[in-house]
Amino acid sequence: MCQNLAHLIPRTTPWQRCTYCRLTVRPAPAEVRRRTDYFGNAVQDFSIHKRHRSLRVSAASKVDVTARAPIVADAGLAWDVLCETVRRCATRSDLDAYQFCFPSRHVCLADELADYARPSFPPGRPLWDAVTELNARVHADFTYDPQATELETPCLDVFRQRRGVCQDLAHVLIGCLRSLGLPARYVSGYLRTESPPGKPRLVGADASHAWLAVYGGGAAGWRDLDPTNNVIPSVDHITVAWGRDYADVAPIRGVFVGGGQHRISVSVDVTPLDAPRAA
């Protein structure tokens, strides 16, 4: 018997629209409910009351993705000015963004992280410049290593050993930004499985992927960054959910009653159905 909470269906944003979604659970659950959580993510609740030895959850969805407008380095908006603006919470969007400046379950604030980030953030530098440089530095300095960490490995440990998976890199980069006072949130989603011809295959394409988004002020809004692949997410990244960190958007979470050990396996496939259209 188990009760579960899943974030598996992509949410609708200005650049992507989920036109079809289906969640299949075997054995058939006693109840399936959909709702929206505090962050606006689509949540699926289901519970199974029968005895079962295996649980299989499949989520299928069709998503329309449009390319996002390329970001021009903002000549005017300096990162330290943005920090102050956000802290004043003068507008609704600033207030909403402000909550992402604080430590959360998987992300801590620390001097070490701020010191690591500071070389990219001299006073007065435009935000987007600084942030993309830090993204590239994290990509270069950290090694992708699935064996190095576990779910509960603290953010600082990951930072010190410079190894981890996409989830860890996202947490570290979020930690660096938050330690400087900038709002950053965690994004979980899917990557296109087969990259277009001529482009290298993206890391993280066979399972859920994690990246982050940085707040650029009321006008610019939230903009995504992928430190694992050192890219700016666009049509190859499908956003499923966002929150303060992994704990808010775990693809599936559950409590069950039963005995013995259990194993989990995950696989994700993302294929384009149409040729990409111009934005």
Partner 1 sequence: WTDAPTGLGHALETRLVLARMFPGMIRECRIDRLAPFFVTLQQTLRSLAPAHRENPRIVLLSEGADSVQRFEDTYLARYLNFMLVESGDLAVRDEKVVLKTLGGLLPVDVIWRRMSDRVCDPLELPGDTSRGVPGLLQAVRASHVSVVNALGSSLVQAPALLPYLPALCQRLLRESLRLASVETFWSGTPLGQQTLLAAQGGLMFRAAFGAAGQCEVSPGDGRHEPNHVAELLRRDPYGLVAQQPPLSSTAPVKTSREHIVSAPLALRLFAVWSGTGYQVLPGGLARGLLPPVESGGAAARVTTRKDVWVVAAAEISDVSLLQSPHERITLRRGGAELPSRVADDMFWLGRYVERTDSAARMLRSLVARLAAETERATSPWLAPLLRTLVTEEHLPRELVTPDGNHLRTESEAAVALAILCVDTPQAGFLSCVDALSTTADRVRDRLSPDSWSLLHHLRGEYHAARGQRVDTLADLLTLFGNTIAALAAFGGLAAESMTRTQGWRFMELGRRLERALHTLVLVQNFLISHAGQSPTLLEMLLEVGDGLMTYRSRYLAQLRLAPVLDLLLTDETNPRSVAYQLAAIAQDVAHLPPSDAPALLSDEERLALNMLNSVRQVDLDMLEQAGQRSDRNRLERLLSRLTDQLPRLSDLVSHKYFVHAGSPRQLAEWHLHDRPYHDVRVQ
| Residues lying near partner 1 in the complex (CB under 8 A) | 1-5, 30-31, 33, 35, 45, 47, 49, 51, 109, 146-147, 149-152, 165-167, 203-204, 206-210, 247, 250-259, 261-264, 266
Q: Select 19 or 24, whichever has its Cβ closest to partner 1.
A: 24
Least distance between partner 1 and beta carbon 63 (Å): 19
Q: Select 152 or 274, whichever has its Cβ closest to partner 1.
A: 152
**What does DSSP assign to residue 265?**
-
| Residues in a beta bridge with 242 | 187
Q: Select 77 or 203, whichever has its Cβ closest to partner 1.
A: 203
Distance (Å, rounded) from C-alpha 266 to C-alpha 94?
A: 37
Start-to-end CA distance of the chain, whole Å, equals 47
Least distance between partner 1 and beta carbon 31 (Å): 6
Q: Can you tell me whether residue 117 is helix, strand or coil?
A: helix
Q: Can you tell me whether residue 56 is helix, strand or coil?
A: strand
Cα distances from 194 to residues 8, 200, 206, 229, 239, in angstroms, run 20, 9, 10, 15, 17
Q: Select 104 or 126, whichever has its Cβ closest to partner 1.
A: 104
Quote the distance between the C-alpha of residue 221 and its chain's center: 16
Least distance between partner 1 and beta carbon 165 (Å): 5
Give the DSSP H or E segment for 138. Answer: helix 127-141
Instruction: Find the largest Cα–Cα distance for the chain.
Output: 61
Least distance between partner 1 and beta carbon 77 (Å): 24
Q: Select 81 or 203, whichever has its Cβ closest to partner 1.
A: 203
Q: How many CA atoms lie within 13 A of 183 on its CB side?
A: 25
Q: Select 218 or 254, whichever has its Cβ closest to partner 1.
A: 254
Q: Select 219 or 264, whichever has its Cβ closest to partner 1.
A: 264
Tokens in use for 76?
């005017």
Q: Select 75 or 261, whichever has its Cβ closest to partner 1.
A: 261
Distance (Å, rounded) from C-alpha 74 to C-alpha 221?
A: 13
Q: What angle do CA 118, 119, 120 make, to 5 degrees?
A: 85
Least distance between partner 1 and beta carbon 70 (Å): 27
Q: How many CB atoms lie within 10 A of CB 91?
A: 13
Give the DSSP H or E segment for 21. Answer: strand 16-26
| Residues in a beta bridge with 57 | 25
